[in-house]
Amino acid sequence: MSKNDDYKDKFEAHRQAIGNEEEDDQQKMSRTERYKTDKGEKIQPSNRKFTRVLFAAFIILPLACLVYAIFFYEPGDKIPEAKDNDEMEIVDNKDDKKTDAEKEKEEEQLAKEKEEKKKAEAEKKKEEAKIAKEQAEKAEADKKAEEERQAEAQRQQEAQQREAEQQRQAEEQQRQAQAAEQQRQAEQQRQAEEERKRQQQQQNQNKNQNQNQQRSHTVQKGETLYRIGVNYYGSGDEGTLQKIRSANGLSSNNIVVGQTLVLP
């Protein structure tokens, strides 16, 4: 139901309510009062009509205007002339001003805005997907770089460990070689000392054997006691000569060819 129909229904209901009140007042009157009233109405019919006109002019019309102003009036609306006393129409100028071309233009504008919004959302999603892809690629590159860095650090650590192990082994081999050389030299010195001692012992044994054995010598032509001492004892000193003289009972160094001498 439109605003005009609602207004007309309320106006008609108000008018009928006034008529019903008048009928109730007439029913409450006594027969004499009704007679007097009817007689008065017949006498003064023009006064009754004039009163109703005044009532309508000063009560109903302001009340109707007040109801309209409170419930139905909106800026931009106008009330055209009534077709009759019981019908009124309220026409919205904004609807009249809108032509089909303007509506079509508005629809096109809305469609354009919707399409632009759709494109903007698609572009936004595309940009977000691009950013997400770049971030994922960067994260993957960072991960690979970190793995490569860790692998390189591991390789360097292993190389350092191998180098340290090789150096340790080289030092161990050098230490063992030095120890072996020292042991070899010590063994050579020990063997040389043992050989020296053995030779010294052998010489002592030979000397003792020579000393224990009785030797004899036949004097040859041109030999002297001194020469014999040098040949057998390595020395021709007085001690050696005295030992030869004592062994042979000689009082002097004089000896003759063919004489046999005992050499102690």
User: Whole domain around residue 234: which residue ranges?
Assistant: 212-263
In a domain, 164, yes or no: no
For residue 87, what are its two tokens?
Answer: 């019908």
The verdict on residue 27 lying in a domain is yes
In this prediction, residue 165 has a pLDDT band, given cuts at 50, 70 and 90, of very high
What percent of the chain clears pLDDT 70, i.e. is strictly above it?
69
Model confidence at 79: pLDDT above 50: no
Spatial distance between the Cα atoms of 98 and 93, rounded to a whole number of angstroms:
9
234 domain-assigned = yes
* Average pLDDT taken over every residue of the chain: 77
For residues 198, 203, 207 and 213, what is the CA-based torsion angle, rounded to 10 degrees? 80
Write the pLDDT tens digit of every residue in 55-69. 767 777 777 787 777
Residue 198 counted as domain residue:
no
Which of 51, 78, 97 is the C-terminal boundary of a domain? 97
Check pLDDT > 80 for residue 209: no
pLDDT band at 153 (very low <50, low <70, confident <90, very high): very high
Tokens of 172: 């161990």
* pLDDT tops 80 at residue 71: no
Complete DSSP assignment for the chain: --HHHHHHHHHHHHHHHHHHHHHHHHHHS-HHHHHHHHHHHHH-HHHHHHHHHHHIIIIIHHHHHHHHHHHT--TTEE-PPPSSTT----EEHHHHH--HHHHHHHHHHHHHHHHHHHHHHHHHHHHHHHHHHHHHHHHHHHHHHHHHHHHHHHHHHHHHHHHHHHHHHHHHHHHHHHHHHHHHHHHHHHHHHHHHHHHHHHHHHHHHHHHHS-EEEEPPTT--HHHHHHHHHS--SHHHHHHHHHHHT-SSS---TT-EEEE-
Give the CATH number, domain containing residue 239. Answer: 3.10.350.10
Whether 91 shows a pLDDT value over 70: the answer reads no
Asked if 244 contacts 229 with a C-beta cutoff of 8 angstroms, the reply is yes
Q: Total domain count for the chain?
A: 2
Residue-level pLDDT at 135: 92
pTM for this predicted structure: 0.28
- What's the pLDDT band for 45 if we cut at 50, 70, 90? low
The domain boundary residue, chosen from 57, 76, 97: 97
Q: With respect to residue 130, please indicate whether it lies within any of the assigned structural domains.
A: no
Q: Which of 55-59, 128-132, 215-219 has the highest mean pLDDT?
A: 128-132
How confident is the model over 197-204, as a mean pLDDT?
82
Whether the pLDDT of residue 86 is over 60: the answer is no
Of the listed ranges 11-20, 170-179, 186-195, the one predicted with least confidence: 11-20
How far apart (Å, rounded) are the C-alpha atoms in residues 247 and 261?
8
Domain end: 81, 97, 113, which one? 97
Whether residue 91 is contained in a domain is answered as yes
* Structural domain includes residue 52: yes
Residue 39 lies in a domain: yes
